[in-house]
Amino acid sequence: MFRTYQEIYNTRGGLYHRAMEECPAARAREFELLVATANLRRDQVRILDIPSGGGYLRTYLPNHVRLVSADPADRFLHAGNHPHEDGIVCAQHDDLPFGDGTFDAVLSLAGMHHLDDHAAVFREWHRILKPGGTLAVGDAVKGSPTSRYLDGVVHQFNTMGHHGNYFDEDVCNHLRGCGFSAVTRQEHTYTWDFADTAEMLQFCRTLFGLDRNPSDADLLAGISDTVGYHTDDRGAHLNWSLMFIRATA
């Protein structure tokens, strides 16, 4: 069963937010890569973060940016405080309450694989972007270690399961078909970083809502069989990879 983003994160968005509060820097490299992909100009001021969850992107953006957070899951959206944002909106990815050409840029991280119709979302994002505006999106690739972790480990240990609709080799053509140009993509491999293995496991349990309560050994085995991890004198590091795409409206 393909569950909707709204259903998933109205159920476990609070846990996700708790994990992000407990380890706010664990996924820093991921957010940095999204912002680097966007490569915003100084005059690109009005930005939409979707799906924003509890509001994690603001830390990585320039101070002059006016950020609006949007998320379909009301409980997830309001789990955060959004203290330095210009607005928060509960709305679907493909049905946004903004006029044509409202935003200079749309940034989206790790939400697309929960959506059934990518083209409908891309068309809506193209509509709300100013001509020449920027789309930057990062998400998992079909068949990648990240997708295998999500549809394997998370599916096994979360009672809601997990079935992702991941990016494939046609994603850039889909964007062009929705009106975007100058489409580029690059898959990046990096790590989520923790003080130690215990913190890494707790983060995974909480962020992904692993309510079947796997043992540490079983969860480590699942991680090792999919994305992998390593430890060193700086802590524990969970391997992760996403495709980052930039396109112009």
Q: What is the pLDDT of residues 169-198, one digit of tens each?
A: 999 999 999 999 999 999 999 999 999 999
| Domain spans in the chain, listed from the N-terminal domain onward | 5-141+166-192+241-248
Give the mean pLDDT of 58-70: 96
In this prediction, residue 83 has a pLDDT band, given cuts at 50, 70 and 90, of confident
Residue 23: both structure tokens together: 């380890």
Task: Select from 1.20.990.10, 3.40.50.150, 1.20.1290.10, 3.40.718.10 the CATH code of 5-141+166-192+241-248.
Answer: 3.40.50.150
pTM value is 0.96
CA torsion angle for 179, 183, 189, 195 (degrees, to 10)?
-60
CA distances in angstroms from 154 to 67, 207, 214, listed in the order given? 31, 10, 10
pLDDT digits (tens, 9 = 90+) for 90-126: 999 999 999 999 999 999 999 999 999 999 999 999 9
Distance, CA of 241 to CA of 83 (rounded, Å): 30
Question: Coil, strand or helix: which one is 225?
Answer: helix
Distance, CA of 131 to CA of 66 (rounded, Å): 18
Per-chain mean pLDDT for the chain? 97
pLDDT digits (tens, 9 = 90+) for 204-228: 999 999 999 999 999 999 999 999 9
pLDDT number for residue 46 = 98
Question: Coil, strand or helix: which one is 119?
Answer: helix
Distance, CA of 26 to CA of 63 (rounded, Å): 22
In this prediction, residue 82 has a pLDDT band, given cuts at 50, 70 and 90, of confident
In this prediction, residue 85 has a pLDDT band, given cuts at 50, 70 and 90, of confident
Greatest extent of the chain over all pairs of C-alpha atoms, in Å: 51
Phi/psi for 222 (5° steps) reads -65, -45
Alpha-helix residue ranges (DSSP H) falling in the chain? 5-22, 28-38, 74-77, 118-128, 145-148, 155-157, 171-177, 197-207, 216-225
